[in-house]
Structure 1
Amino acid sequence: MGVAEPFPGPAGRPHGPVMDRDEVDRALARLGAEHEAVETSLLALQDHAGRRLLEGAELTGVTKDRWATAEQQITLLWGYFDAYTAALNGIRELRSRRRWSSREDLAELTERLRGRSVTVASQAAHTAPGITGPARLSEEFTLEELVARMNDLYAASLDVVVTADAVWSALPARIDLLSAELRRTRSLAHSVGVRPGEHPSGDELESITEELSTLRAQVVSDPLAFWRPGPGSAAPGGGRPDTDRYDRAARALEDVRREIEAVLQVRQDSEERLMRLRDVLSRADRTLTEARAARGEVLAKIAASEVPAVSGPPTALQERLATAAEHRRHARWHRLSPLLESLEREAEEELMRARESLTAVTAPLAVRAELRGRLDAYKAKVARQGSAEDPMLIERYDAARRMLWSAPCDLRAAEQAVLRYQHAAAEALAQRQDGPESGPTDRRGDS
């Protein structure tokens, strides 16, 4: 329920000339409107939902201390209002004695309207010791000073009521909704075997449960401890509820919920993932078998070559794959989830290592094939240029070919032989382009 804004104070004037009848009547009309606004605000404060909750709650901490002060302020405020009401009624009674007030009446009316004519008894002054300064037997106010004092007390009391109500309206309901989501997540986690002491997410759910329970109890008993005042705000209730702890719990629950959903997804697609894993490991095994066969061929066909060893089949991964299948059969989804993730990563790495091993083992064969291709390419080039019958080129080609097509093949020597043929071919082609008298063909013609 809303509460009216702090009531306005009278304009007030310094003591001066005696007021005439019209000035008195206007002042009384203004005071009457002011009195109605004051009463409306006080009744609204009295009926405020936050005030009723504060009165009925078992408060602790900051809220307990501030509400005890606010209760004293509200009691003192009503005492001031009663004094203000009595002063206004007295002024009205004096004005109503005569239709045409005498000079003496107007002087007294002026004094009551402008002077320190309101006396508050000592009982009101002692209601809240320390709030209004040292206790005195009585206090005297002008109407303007009394309204200013009531405004201060009203704003301070209203701030406590509005702030507590804002926190109670915001946080407990949100905590209850998050707690309901937490219960659903815990039930889901239990269904996939995520339990405290067995899985980190189960422990996290227990921690979140304790935090929300503690947070709600603290919010209910000490709402003002969860209020963050707005910068530079002097209005009652200026600021916002402090939701930092709630937000952290909500984020933690969201992280756990995602992990539980991942486990549920494992339950749904675990068979397909296990089949893919078996396929990847089978390909890795076949690739390693091919690499071992290729290594034997390389050792038989290539001489003086360092051929890396080939590792055995991924038996450790096969054993872990069998463990994963066992987890699936017994519905241990929370254990299967991380195991599948690591197996998928390591199986792909194993397949990559097998392929790299095959590439490394067959590298000498690839070098031999490249040298054979280069030799034949230069021979074809020489033939197109009409120098295929050059004896030197034939001799060097035959030497390189014997090395490359014999077993075991010495790659270093074969490469040198190919380079010698390549240089001779390049020289023959250059001489042929320079002229027939200087080329190798001319020598063959002369002979």
Structure 2
Amino acid sequence: MTGTGAPDRDRLDADLAAAEDAVARASTALVDLEAHPGHGLLVAGGFAGVSARRREEALATIADLHRDLALYRRAVAAARDARGTRSRPSPDELAAADEALHGETVVAAEEVVPLQRRGLLGATSHVTRTSAPALLARMTAGFDAVTAVVAAVATVWDAVAARLGPVLDTLDDLRRDVVTADAPEPAAELDRCAARIDALRTAVLTDPLAHTGTTEPVDAAELARIAEALSGVRTALDGVRALHAGLDRRVAELTAAVDALAGQEAAAVEVAEQVARLITAAPGLPVPTRRAPQLRAALRAAHDDARAGRWTAAVAAFAAVAAGVETAQKAAATDRDVLAGLLDRRAELRGRLGALRAKASARGRSEDLALDALHTRAHELLWTAPCDLPAATVAVRAYQRALEDGAAS
């Protein structure tokens, strides 16, 4: 502060003490700023987009903060020197100290004046002056702006680390498991997952400030797909361990299942051959096939994979055999049931025709020629091989209707 009279000593001493405290606090704040993880990320760089621009601005502002703090420190030191150490400084000392502390005595910038802009006697440079309080205000605004950028960058990086951390932990665990389980095949899938995780990280961290304010900076759908892929690797490794521990048991179980399937398929084929002899062919009838030989060969190949150390392939091959056996067993059972149903139907029609014939005799119609002709027709159809089952069904119904109609009359 400048004026015609000497400044108040107590006020000046209080202002000077506050300024010295500001120097200490500002120095500490800059040290803390540069120790912040977000500042380290800014210095490391590698940004693009809005983050690249904001990084350059922030680093330039930090450089300005150091320069302005040095200027502010010198102004405060000059004020302290002018004040001196006497308990009762002179008015001139007080005025000089006040001018150093409050006046525009700080050279903030000095610009060379180009020759074309000078007069003959003009100055060769232009000096911009400011005051220590103005410097402190400028430093405060710059510090606030920089800390906002530093904190924003760190927040996004922390959010990415929090989202990717569990997946990376799982990836690391699986890499160790691949080694201990003696199953190198999943390593390629883990490498693909690692590359996808790196792509997720890069997509955000090359421009972290573009993702400020978002609750989910990482692509949640892709992260879920990666987690699913890792879960698949985990399942495969669990299968490898189980197969390691029980290979002989697994082979024995599947061998028994294939043997049982072979018996079911043989039974279905036998019924099909019987139907072919006894029932007239009709569209849509199942044709049983023998899948057991193919599955037995697949089982041998799966066993070979396991013995050769191709454990992941063996797990998948054994699972395919088990699924194939289950599907083939259901197909064989269904085919046999459908075909046996035709034989059962013929037997049921034969039994019904016999019961109807007995009923006709009981009613005294054994000599009814028209009724007897219907019986003969149905009997011929049912006892002829191959049997035309639809025609036989119609014939038995016709005989039954004629018998019932006669009873009604």
Instruction: Give the TM-score category using the shorter length.
Output: 0.5 to 0.7
Query: SS of the residue aligned with 2:129?
Result: strand
CA 1:49–1:212: 2 relative to 1, 3 Å:
farther
Match of 2:401 in 1: 423
For residues 135 and 42 of structure 2, the distance between their equivalents in structure 1, rounded to whole angstroms, comes to 32
CA 1:292–1:213: 2 relative to 1, 3 Å:
closer
1:165-204 matches, cutoff 5 A: 182=171, 184-195=173-184, 199=185, 201-204=186-189
Whether 1:277 aligns to 2:268 is no
CA deviation profile, 1:204-242 (whole Å, cap 9, x unmatched): 3345667889999x9xxxx9746346757xxxxxx9996
Whether 1:79 aligns to 2:70 is yes
For residues 319 and 56 of structure 1, the distance between their equivalents in structure 2, rounded to whole angstroms, comes to 59
CA deviation profile, 1:256-289 (whole Å, cap 9, x unmatched): 3443233323434544443443343223322221
Comparing 163-172 with 261-270, greater Cα deviation is found at 163-172
CA 1:73–1:257: 2 relative to 1, 3 Å:
farther
1:219-368 matches, cutoff 5 A: 225=206, 227-228=208-209, 231=212, 251=227, 253=230, 255-303=232-280, 309-368=287-346
For residues 214 and 302 of structure 1, the distance between their equivalents in structure 2, rounded to whole angstroms, comes to 66
Query: SS of the residue aligned with 1:121?
Result: strand
Gaps of 5+ in 1: 1-11, 127-135, 233-238, 432-438, 440-447
Whether 1:36 aligns to 2:25 is no
% identical equivalent positions: 23
CA 1:340–1:151: 2 relative to 1, 3 Å:
same
Query: SS of the residue aligned with 1:61?
Result: coil
Deviation of the 1:339 alpha carbon: 0.8
Deviation of the 1:315 alpha carbon: 1.7
For residues 308 and 51 of structure 1, the distance between their equivalents in structure 2, rounded to whole angstroms, comes to 76
CA deviation profile, 1:160-190 (whole Å, cap 9, x unmatched): 6556776888888998997776555334213
Deviation of the 1:146 alpha carbon: 2.9
Whether 1:46 aligns to 2:31 is yes
CA deviation profile, 1:384-427 (whole Å, cap 9, x unmatched): xx964334497367436633652423424422321112212332
Give the counterpart letter for 1:151 in structure 2. T
The question of whether the paired residues in 1 share the 8 Å contact of 2:265 and 2:290 is answered with yes
The question of whether the paired residues in 1 share the 8 Å contact of 2:16 and 2:79 is answered with yes
CA 1:365–1:85: 2 relative to 1, 3 Å:
same
Query: SS of the residue aligned with 2:106?
Result: strand
1:96-245 matches, cutoff 5 A: 117-121=103-107, 137-141=126-130, 145-159=134-148, 182=171, 184-195=173-184, 199=185, 201-207=186-192, 225=206, 227-228=208-209, 231=212
For residues 401 and 205 of structure 2, the distance between their equivalents in structure 1, rounded to whole angstroms, comes to 93
For residues 282 and 271 of structure 1, the distance between their equivalents in structure 2, rounded to whole angstroms, comes to 16
Comparing 73-82 with 300-309, greater Cα deviation is found at 300-309
Deviation of the 1:86 alpha carbon: 5.0
Query: SS of the residue aligned with 1:139?
Result: strand
Give the counterpart letter for 1:372 in structure 2. R
Deviation of the 1:371 alpha carbon: 2.5
Give the counterpart letter for 2:127 in structure 1. S
Comparing 77-86 with 320-329, greater Cα deviation is found at 77-86
Match of 1:390 in 2: 365
In angstroms, what is the RMSD of aligned CA positions? 5.5
CA deviation profile, 1:17-40 (whole Å, cap 9, x unmatched): 999999x96797578547635631
CA 1:178–1:414: 2 relative to 1, 3 Å:
closer
Under a length normalisation based on structure 1, what TM-score does the superposition of the two structures give? 0.62
The question of whether the paired residues in 1 share the 8 Å contact of 2:382 and 2:392 is answered with no
The question of whether the paired residues in 2 share the 8 Å contact of 1:125 and 1:137 is answered with yes
CA deviation profile, 1:79-122 (whole Å, cap 9, x unmatched): 343255358658978xx8689x99xx99x97x999x8x233225
Deviation of the 1:152 alpha carbon: 2.4
Query: SS of the residue aligned with 2:347?
Result: helix
For residues 327 and 53 of structure 1, the distance between their equivalents in structure 2, rounded to whole angstroms, comes to 52
Deviation of the 1:303 alpha carbon: 4.7
Comparing 276-285 with 178-187, greater Cα deviation is found at 178-187
The question of whether the paired residues in 2 share the 8 Å contact of 1:50 and 1:162 is answered with no
For residues 137 and 412 of structure 1, the distance between their equivalents in structure 2, rounded to whole angstroms, comes to 116
Deviation of the 1:191 alpha carbon: 4.2
Deviation of the 1:321 alpha carbon: 0.7
CA deviation profile, 1:124-170 (whole Å, cap 9, x unmatched): 668xxxxxxxxx75333356533331112222444565567768888
The question of whether the paired residues in 2 share the 8 Å contact of 1:171 and 1:243 is answered with yes
For residues 334 and 238 of structure 2, the distance between their equivalents in structure 1, rounded to whole angstroms, comes to 37
CA 1:301–1:177: 2 relative to 1, 3 Å:
closer
The question of whether the paired residues in 2 share the 8 Å contact of 1:396 and 1:417 is answered with no
CA 1:44–1:397: 2 relative to 1, 3 Å:
same
Among residues 57, 60, 64, which one is paired with 1:69 in the alignment? 60
